[in-house]
Amino acid sequence: MCLIVVGWRVHADYPLVVAANRDEFYARPTADAAPWPDAPAVFGGLDLEAGGTWLGLRGDGRFAAVTNVREPGMAMGARSRGTLTRDFLLGHDAAIDYAQGLDGSLYSGFNLLLSDGDDLIYCSNRDGAPRRLAPGIYGLSNHRLDSPWPKLVTARQRFAAALPALPDESALFALLADDAIVADDSLPQTGVPLEWERLLSAIFVKSENYGTRASTVAWQGRDGTAYLHEQRFGPHGRALQSSVISTAV
């Protein structure tokens, strides 16, 4: 997962709203978003290589999403970052307790957003202690929360403009489909080659081997409804199937 924008308690009917793009190599085996076979109250995609997930919801208000921290050359962690989200979605700990109990040294660099319905928690093994987030709109990519990368600034602005139209989600998917490349003089410098900085500067990433595999809009409603809509893509951004899951507590 390489871009997540979250609205936390800023909409009267939807206390949690999420728009996210998962960027990954197209060859990595993945299960489409669906209720999980061994835990049908949880729904989201599954990474079939390491067994975790990049984003998921549970019908009782639980939410988790993870991004990696871009740090080329660093050694791989002993555990997959996708297990961070999976284990939270399958568990019952309060979000802050779960975050504080993690051993970040076991993982490559990660950013983690967790909600138990009462709190939204941000935690990272590259950015200090876990913290509760106040109501607001937050953006996360492959650096710290709300890093002023051009694509993240644009995504947050467009997300805020799109919120009043919910449950019409078309504007949220439109922002997730923005494939504009940032000018070289505005690119972040994250240690990858210039051609990769350019490719990854877009909200929607596309190439032959790597790109946005899934765009997801999800929310938790005050009426107890949990909703997730995943649109999937292949090489060069070719549109594939989509999944819509909605459930009530």
Write out pLDDT tens, residues 25-48.
Answer: 999 999 999 999 999 999 999 999
Q: Does 73 score more than 80 pLDDT? A: no
Distance of CA 226 to the CA centre of its chain: 16
pLDDT score, position 248? 66
Angstrom distance (rounded) from CA 7 to CA 209? 31
Question: What's the mean pLDDT when you consider all of the chain?
Answer: 95
Does position 75 have pLDDT exceeding 90, yes or no? no
CATH of 3-146+208-248, one of 3.30.420.40, 3.90.1720.10, 3.60.60.10, 3.40.30.10: 3.60.60.10
Q: What is the pLDDT of residue 1?
A: 61
Q: Which one-letter amino acid corresponds to residue 76?
A: M
**DSSP H helical ranges for the chain:** 82-90, 95-100, 150-162, 170-176, 194-200
pLDDT at residue 76, rounded to an integer: 83
Distance, CA of 48 to CA of 28 (rounded, Å)? 8
How many other CB atoms are found less than 10 A from the CB of residue 151?
A: 24
The pLDDT assigned to 13 comes to: 96
Taking residues 121-145, report their average pLDDT. Answer: 95
The pLDDT of residue 107 is 95
Query: Would you say residue 62 has pLDDT above 80?
Result: yes
What's the pTM value of the predicted model, to 2 decimals? 0.94
So where are the chain's domains? 3-146+208-248
